[in-house]
Structure 1
Amino acid sequence: MIKQGLLVRAAVPACVLTGGAVAGGVSPIAWATGLVFGLALVLLTGWGLQRTGRGEFGPADWITFARATLVGCAAELIADGGHPHAWLVGLIAVALLLDGVDGQVARRTGTSSEFGARFDMEVDAFLILLMCVQVAETAGLWVLAIGLMRYAFVAASWAMPWLTAPLYPSMARKTVAAVQGVVLVVAVAGILPVLWTVAAVVLALASLVWSFGRDVVWLARTRVPAARPSAIVAITRRRAAPHHGPTWPAHNQAA
């Protein structure tokens, strides 16, 4: 079963990415992008399954895998350039629409996992970065700050391990993340005047800086070890509970 899953994980992106390269004009850059992306997708998912002790994909993981393959096709078109935006916008739109479906499937089938959550997050992050690359061609390289911010956060966590602690649930964080996707899709589609597009992307970047800054300040003040996720739950409950004074030390208060 494991070998069969590996075969499917290799064959599906190979076929779809080949189709994407053909649609992209069979240029060397399109082929190279598809090859690198396909290999990375197969190898990294295999490494992730092994690292988390899972033998194979669950139902939701296959949906995320399909999204990742569509993102690979979008990467081919962006790398090659000079193609109608309709193809690119269509691929991105479908990939974004499927986001959330995998989470619902995982919950309904009882197959939620650390691997699935991380896989979904990495696909989202790479898709955002791809859209930033596309938008940067007209708006400027500063747009890349949106796509690179998450990777900068990960790099910073190597030097500051307290950044890897789980974060408390936040609707504001989810809203900001959704705003990035919507604004960048609109920017890629080019349906607004350039000035309006730039203004929207600036606001999206500002909201992302606020969201990351808010979380970094909270993590710096709480300093909860990543090995103690239960402490995050306890702190979150305290935040939600009404009180008339501080219920935990000042250095643990959230921003």
Structure 2
Amino acid sequence: MTDETRVGRSRASSPCWITMSAGHVAMVVGTLLALELVWPAGPSRAFLGTVALVVVLELVLVWILFDEGGSISAKPAQSPRDATGQSVTLATWVTIARAGAVVVLAGFVATGLPTESGIGPWAPAALFAVAMVFDAVDGAVARRTNSETAFGSRLDVEVDALAILVGSVVAIAAGTLPLVFVAVAVARYLFVAGRRWRTWRGRGVSTLPPNRLRRPLGGLAMVAVLLALTPVPGPAVSYWLGLLVAVPVLANFCWDWLAVSGRLERG
């Protein structure tokens, strides 16, 4: 791809990125206002500062993914549409709303989990649940409206990974998940970085083989994080549950790494 083509696509992407950014910020502000209603203490300056930082990081991520383009995954009987002009679909907005919930959840890294009486202590778990539950919604909407895009698919995966990362860090900081769980939170990022490093070094990278445990273990990790963010069953239970979940999840990542690095084939 020529530099002129990349510059032209970047300019064409700018209006859509601005629209998505404005919508994302509006969703974050709306979520913060809703949080004020259920959290008597309210967001502190440190909380809002953390939220602002994560918003900036997410907007940079959206720009990178959107600028990469990618065609619509249309049905065989249909021709792909231009991704730059039509990537911002209803399903994409659902994903962006999920990202907004994750951004606000990140604020609890600075303040810790709420301990007041009422429904405030349930707010972190609710934010994480929104990010996870609507993971099924954006995909269903995309398929129903035949508007699946490479950008939307990538963004969906990145929001999933970010939700696990942020939720884990909040819980670990609060002492409701063991420190080893940070390895679960960053495993996906290390896996992707490892594949790119091997490619850059000219080493072989095999296709990731099917794995029936990958999805159930991912769901189990989400449940562990969710329970760690709730007032019940309590820090002791969620701590040991997180420890038990971390072992098979990390073992499965190691197995996948052995597969893509070709070590299983040599064995």
* TM-score range normalised by the length of the shorter chain: 0.7 to 0.9
Distance, in Å, in 2 between the alignment partners of 1:190 and 1:163 is 47
Distance, in Å, in 2 between the alignment partners of 1:199 and 1:124 is 23
Q: Which amino acid aligns with 2:166?
A: L
Distance, in Å, in 1 between the alignment partners of 2:207 and 2:141 is 23
Q: Deviations over 1:198-220 (max 9, x none)?
A: 22111211121121122112223
Specify every segment of 5 or more residues in structure 1 that has no aligned partner in the other structure, as ranges.
223-249
Report the more deviating stretch, 152-161 or 88-97.
Answer: 152-161
Aligned pair count reads: 226
Q: Deviations over 1:120-146 (max 9, x none)?
A: 111111111112112213144222111
Distance, in Å, in 2 between the alignment partners of 1:3 and 1:156 is 31
Question: How far does residue 66 in structure 1 lie from its aligned partner after superposition?
Answer: 0.8
Higher relative contact order (CA 8 A, sep 6+): 2
**Secondary structure of residue in 1 paired with 2:209:** coil
Aligned to 1:17: 28
Q: Deviations over 1:58-116 (max 9, x none)?
A: 22211111100111111123333352321111111111110121112222222223222
In the alignment, does 2:195 pair up with 1:157? yes
Aligned to 1:225: none
Question: How far does residue 148 in structure 1 lie from its aligned partner after superposition?
Answer: 1.4
Structure with a larger share of its residues in helix: 1
Specify every segment of 5 or more residues in structure 2 that has no aligned partner in the other structure, as ranges.
1-11, 71-82, 115-119
In the alignment, does 2:255 pair up with 1:214? yes
Query: Aligned runs of 1:42-61 on 2, under 5 Å?
Result: 42-53=59-70, 54-55=83-84, 56-61=87-92
Aligned to 1:189: 230
Q: Which amino acid aligns with 1:25?
A: G
Q: Which amino acid aligns with 2:184?
A: I
Distance, in Å, in 1 between the alignment partners of 2:179 and 2:265 is 38
In the alignment, does 2:265 pair up with 1:251? yes
Change (3 A) 1:220 1:3: closer
TM-score w.r.t. the length of structure 1 is 0.77
Question: How far does residue 26 in structure 1 lie from its aligned partner after superposition?
Answer: 4.5
Q: Structure 1 runs of 4+ off > 4 angstroms?
A: 1-4, 19-22, 162-166
Question: Identity percentage over the alignment?
Answer: 25
Report the more deviating stretch, 33-42 or 183-192.
Answer: 33-42
Aligned to 1:226: none
Query: Aligned runs of 1:13-162 on 2, under 5 Å?
Result: 13-21=24-32, 23=36, 25-53=42-70, 54-55=83-84, 56-83=87-114, 84-136=120-172, 137-138=174-175, 139-161=177-199
